[in-house]
Structure 1
Amino acid sequence: MATSASQTLALQRNSWEQNRFMENLMTKIFNFYDEQTLIDVTFKVSNPTALVPAHRLILAAASPYFENLFNGNQGTNPVIEINDIDSDIFERLITFCYTGQVLITVNNLAAMLNAAIVLQLDDARNRIVDYLMTRIDEYTLQGAYTLERETQCEVLKTKIIEYETKNFMEISRSNEFLNFDVEKLQRILVSDNLNITREEDAFDAIQRWYNYDVPARQEQLPLLIACLRLTQFKVDFLMTHIQPLPGCELLALRALSWIREPTARPMTNMRFTEPRGISTTNCGDKTILAVCSELTPKLLRYYKTENKWQEYESIKFDYQCYGTILKYGNLLFIGGYNGATYNIVRCWNIRNKIWYYFQDMVQARNNHCVVELNGKIYAIGGRDGKNVLSSVERYTISVGWKFVNRLIVGRFRAGAVTLNGKIYVMGGSNGNTGLNSVECYNPDSNTWTSCADMTGYFAGIAAHNGHIYVLGNGDGCRPVERYDPHQDTWSQICSLGVGGGNIACVTLDNRLWAIGGKSKSAGKTCVSVFDEEIFCWLESGSLPESAVYNSFVVPESLLSPM
């Protein structure tokens, strides 16, 4: 019987001595098998009849089937008959118990999988399934479907679903697809990794399947439509394509309510509300959406592969000095000024390109900061007429807008960013002079605390890799400083060589981007990227618009096709 000390030593497999011991031991076991030495059991297998010698200890360690067999009534027999597995297949799997290698071909694959399942050789089963999936074109998908039905192998079922998810567009056009049962289709369509470029692709596939046998599939259609990300469709698509389908009216109405009334979302029963994840074959999952100019804002979309910017939409809007934030797939235009200061919040859906209602703030504000933290929206400071505001209000779905603790120093035209679960507000003006002071809000304690002052004044701001970067004002060269929240210290980094004009900062693909300012070389509105390895800013193109108001990183799946 092994002692605890010997068990501890046996677990030290990372040591060189232990590895050498195990290699020598396995080599000896292989030799025993090859030379048929110390054999203590022989299997008599049919079709054709053959005798397969082995060692009980090895087989019992490799499979629960053999362990239970040898512990049973017939387990002590020197010869044991096996009648439901061909002799060649059985011998290959016995060899696997010794070597961990299994000789698979397309021709013996089905028999090997059946036998591995019977003998409870899970590792062999997994390798057979992997072999099948790497040769799916040769074996055929229809053959894989048939084998999965015959064996009821859950591993194979999972692998097939993964394959169907990855190759959905091709499979949805095949004849096999038309005969999928509704449960199988549901398993595919609910996947967050379904490889489609737009949600309409999944809808088109459902329509093709449904039209193949309308009378028999009419009751099943709502089950499949419910698997779609309905909130990603445009409103007119929901009304003209989804709502008229039998049994789908309520699904369409819920999606319409979700899109049009963000404040009513907690009461709206939606199965899926977010876009699907992006698969590895479509990894360009996020891009930049720049808001240019304040009156009649123009949205510019960044295309990574071409490294170019193109107009996405021009919005009819007659306010200015508002705060903007991306929330629920919408751009929220919060507060603002148009002859007077307002507390209205306008909500523009990025994908559907339509305005919707959102609850008004308590306080009218312009030139204020807007940030999101832990799913809550904060409107901070600003101005109402000649009054500089220190008030802060927070929006939650359950309560709406409600005041929280005030700023230490009232300010407008400041910058704000979230980092490490806190809000940092910096710079701006108090009405008499520019500010370089910084405040930090802790939502857990509902308190503001003072931080170390900046050296310069705020123009653009972003949180990036655990620090806060602030781009200052300048004509031809903008100073850049970085804040370390753990040390409460600021340090100067490489200046950004662009001229005047508004500038916005975002983080995309783990790189810090500065969007705006005039390029010295071309005189165009510049896009710059900070290279942390060489510690300098590099120009990365230009914008077709000059006045950059704000920028957001958005999922590409959120944007409607151009």
Structure 2
Amino acid sequence: MLGVIGGARTSRSPTVTNNFQRYDFDAKEWSQARSAMVGPKRTRFAVAAHKNEIWILGGVTKIPSASGGVKIMYENSVSVYDRESGQWNTRSDMKRTRADFCAVVLRGKLYAIGGEGTERGVAKTRTRHSVEVYGDDGTWQSGTQMLYSRSSFASCVDGARIYVAGGAADRHDCDGSIEYYCPTQDQWIYVAVLPATFTTKFGLAFVNSRLHVVGEDEISVICIDACADRPRVISMASSQPSFYDAFALDGELYIVGRTSKNSMMLQKCRPPDYTWEELPPPMSPPDSDVMRIALIKIQSCGNEDKE
């Protein structure tokens, strides 16, 4: 199942939505979930599939300020959706507030990585290189930090490693760098530099031993050689407009998001041919565009997470 969660409606005064849509790969159709996301309406959050639940982590919310305006609040709260009961619940808050970060599951562990947030008593935001890991005891523990602080980046897993790429830091972009985390060594390792700067609206997917960086204007194909310590850029494949995310499923590369004509889209291809197939797009809110979406990729049979 593919889920598109949250977002915002564009208008003279943009409003955040708790919309939750699901895509059935067998039926090739979208449907509305039984219940919308509970809790504060948020954007810039992270999503992950863990233990047959959909986890919504962090992000930002808006509350009225004393001056009559709107105050931006960075969240560390966690909401989870049980697919069997259709109910939303809460879990332990993360140690730090986070927005524009990534959450991934590797070998049964949930990781909250990077992003930006505020420290207690300090209004100024800070880009993070810290990592948190959700433990079996139901609490968050500090993990090994990334080499670079980054927010608005992309991540994926290949079954043995967590990859992160691109993003922005407090003063500069992260040099378009890619790094990966190896749990057996418990360390982050620098990989390579992207051929272009990617800081917003892009995705990362590992398909057929290649790392695909899916951006607004192009798809970079980076070859991962199992016998080498570092990958190498081998080509720039295809050209598509305005993506939001990418993921791998059964050897195919999927891309989902908004086109340059402000319509929603879902496409797939099978590398290395890169012949794209159009699939039914997500349902946009009436008379509006989805400004930001979050994705969840989980098996319809309800087994362990599949990213």
The TM-score bracket by the shorter chain reads: 0.7 to 0.9
Instruction: Indicate how the Cα distance of structure 1 residues 406 and 304 shifts in structure 2: closer, same or farther if over 3 A, else same.
Output: closer
Instruction: Indicate how the Cα distance of structure 1 residues 483 and 428 shifts in structure 2: closer, same or farther if over 3 A, else same.
Output: farther
Instruction: Indicate how the Cα distance of structure 1 residues 350 and 305 shifts in structure 2: closer, same or farther if over 3 A, else same.
Output: closer
Contact 2:221–2:236 (CA under 8 A) maintained in structure 1: yes
Q: CA deviation at 1:451?
A: 0.8
The equivalent residue for 1:331 is 54
Instruction: Indicate how the Cα distance of structure 1 residues 389 and 469 shifts in structure 2: closer, same or farther if over 3 A, else same.
Output: same
Q: In structure 1, what residue type is equivalent to 2:90?
A: Y
Q: CA deviation at 1:306?
A: 4.7
The 2-side partners of 1:516 and 1:549 are apart by 8
The equivalent residue for 2:158 is 419
- Secondary structure at 2:268 match in 1: strand
Alignment of 1:68-147 (within 5 A): none
Alignment match of 1:544 (pick from 272, 283, 289): 283
The equivalent residue for 1:490 is 233
Q: In structure 1, what residue type is equivalent to 2:30?
A: W
Contact 1:519–1:525 (CA under 8 A) maintained in structure 2: no
Q: In structure 2, what residue type is equivalent to 1:447?
A: Q
Alignment of 1:463 with 2:206, yes or no, is yes
Deviations 1:357-410 (A, max 9, x none): 311211221111111111111111111132111111111213731112211111
The 2-side partners of 1:407 and 1:553 are apart by 24
Alignment of 1:304-315 (within 5 A): 304-313=25-34, 314-315=36-37
The 2-side partners of 1:552 and 1:340 are apart by 24
Alignment of 1:392-541 (within 5 A): 392-398=131-137, 400-435=139-174, 436-458=176-198, 459-474=202-217, 478-484=218-224, 486=226, 487=228, 488-497=231-240, 499-500=241-242, 502-518=243-259, 524-532=263-271, 534-541=273-280
- Secondary structure at 1:332 match in 2: strand
Instruction: Indicate how the Cα distance of structure 1 residues 325 and 304 shifts in structure 2: closer, same or farther if over 3 A, else same.
Output: closer
Report the TM-score when normalising by structure 2.
0.77
Alignment of 1:390 with 2:129, yes or no, is yes
Alignment of 1:37-76 (within 5 A): none
Instruction: Indicate how the Cα distance of structure 1 residues 485 and 319 shifts in structure 2: closer, same or farther if over 3 A, else same.
Output: farther
The 1-side partners of 2:299 and 2:50 are apart by 12
The 1-side partners of 2:147 and 2:278 are apart by 38
Instruction: Indicate how the Cα distance of structure 1 residues 491 and 298 shifts in structure 2: closer, same or farther if over 3 A, else same.
Output: farther
Contact 1:382–1:411 (CA under 8 A) maintained in structure 2: yes
Segments of 5+ residues of structure 1 without an aligned counterpart are: 1-286
The 1-side partners of 2:42 and 2:225 are apart by 35
Instruction: Indicate how the Cα distance of structure 1 residues 315 and 388 shifts in structure 2: closer, same or farther if over 3 A, else same.
Output: same
Alignment of 1:556 with 2:300, yes or no, is yes
Greater displacement, 533-542 / 507-516: 533-542
Alignment of 1:163-174 (within 5 A): none
- Secondary structure at 1:444 match in 2: coil
The 2-side partners of 1:507 and 1:447 are apart by 25
Q: In structure 1, what residue type is equivalent to 2:56?
A: F
Instruction: Indicate how the Cα distance of structure 1 residues 444 and 461 shifts in structure 2: closer, same or farther if over 3 A, else same.
Output: same
Instruction: Indicate how the Cα distance of structure 1 residues 531 and 357 shifts in structure 2: closer, same or farther if over 3 A, else same.
Output: closer
Report the TM-score when normalising by structure 1.
0.44
The 2-side partners of 1:420 and 1:351 are apart by 26
Contact 1:417–1:423 (CA under 8 A) maintained in structure 2: yes
The 2-side partners of 1:503 and 1:447 are apart by 28
Alignment of 1:364 with 2:104, yes or no, is no
- Secondary structure at 2:149 match in 1: coil
Contact 1:531–1:538 (CA under 8 A) maintained in structure 2: no
What CA RMSD, in Å, does the superposition of the two structures yield over aligned residues? 2.4
Q: In structure 1, what residue type is equivalent to 2:112?
A: A
The 1-side partners of 2:238 and 2:272 are apart by 15
Q: Aligned pairs, how many?
A: 265
Alignment of 1:204-353 (within 5 A): 287-293=1-7, 295-313=16-34, 314-316=36-38, 317-338=40-61, 339-353=72-86
Contact 1:518–1:526 (CA under 8 A) maintained in structure 2: yes
Contact 2:6–2:42 (CA under 8 A) maintained in structure 1: no
- Structure with bigger gyration radius: 1
The 1-side partners of 2:225 and 2:180 are apart by 10
- Secondary structure at 2:193 match in 1: coil
The 2-side partners of 1:405 and 1:304 are apart by 36
**Structure with the higher helix share, 1 or 2:** 1
Q: CA deviation at 1:514?
A: 0.6
Alignment of 1:138-217 (within 5 A): none
- Secondary structure at 1:321 match in 2: coil
Q: CA deviation at 1:455?
A: 1.0
Q: CA deviation at 1:541?
A: 3.1
Q: CA deviation at 1:326?
A: 0.9
Contact 2:52–2:83 (CA under 8 A) maintained in structure 1: yes
The 2-side partners of 1:357 and 1:303 are apart by 26
Contact 2:54–2:296 (CA under 8 A) maintained in structure 1: no
Instruction: Indicate how the Cα distance of structure 1 residues 384 and 551 shifts in structure 2: closer, same or farther if over 3 A, else same.
Output: closer
Contact 2:106–2:159 (CA under 8 A) maintained in structure 1: no
Instruction: Indicate how the Cα distance of structure 1 residues 303 and 395 shifts in structure 2: closer, same or farther if over 3 A, else same.
Output: closer
Contact 1:506–1:551 (CA under 8 A) maintained in structure 2: no
The percentage of aligned residue pairs carrying the same residue is 20
Q: In structure 2, what residue type is equivalent to 1:479?
A: I
